[in-house]
Amino acid sequence: MITDELGGLPTQGRVEQFRGPIAALRTDEVVFGEQAHPRDYVVHFGAVAVVALDEFDRVLVIQQYRHPLAARLWEIPAGLLDQPGEEPWAAAQRELAEEAGVLAAQWNVLVDYATTPGGSTELLRIYLARGLTFMAERPRTEEAEEQDMPVQFVPIDALCAAVFNSQLCNTSVVVGALATRAARDLQWSVLRAPDIEWPMRSHLEASDRVFRR
């Protein structure tokens, strides 16, 4: 069995260089051997995303403008873990409803990953949602980037082909699509309960590496 080893190296100091509404930039002096070296990193809320899979093996995707890339990306529904006291599974249900107007009867944890472990504490948990129904009224916020978000269903194999052809680059849709097809090929035997422990997030919370307003 191979697993990540949790636990940080000693530090000789920490400076918060910047604090914004959803993240902060820190510089730690990290001790490697006998010398300390500065390491910059972004402290993030963390997030969840949802692969909503219908009975025809199609994945629900949305298109959203992402200003850092100056592009409109096809993604799966996702959102920040920025609501105090909200559990990740509840956040995933909320985001699927707000961004797509969809409810799901069956939920599982699909995969956990760190989006940029060399420069950010952002963790992302992807859920697989099945047994989909559309809501009579979508509780959307329609703010900023969310004012215009087309929604469509794409067959999982076509979605994976788009990933391999460099047509899609959003991390959650890349990881989610490939993980979903792998899980399907394993007859869903790797799926986990939606409320299963998230060890790395617990570790980051304990070591003050999750952003708080």
Q: Which residues are catalytic?
A: 146
Q: For the chain, what is the radius of gyration of the CA atoms?
A: 18
How would you classify the pairing of strands 35-44 and 102-114?
Answer: unpaired
Please check whether residue 208 is in contact with residue 162, taking contact to mean a CB–CB distance below 8 angstroms.
Answer: no
Residue 81 has which token pair? 């873990």
Residue 69 amino acid letter: L
Please check whether residue 123 is in contact with residue 89, taking contact to mean a CB–CB distance below 8 angstroms.
Answer: no
Residues with Cβ within 8 Å of 168's Cβ and at least 6 positions away in sequence, in order, are: 73, 74, 159, 162, 174, 177
Residues with Cβ within 8 Å of 90's Cβ and at least 6 positions away in sequence, in order, are: none
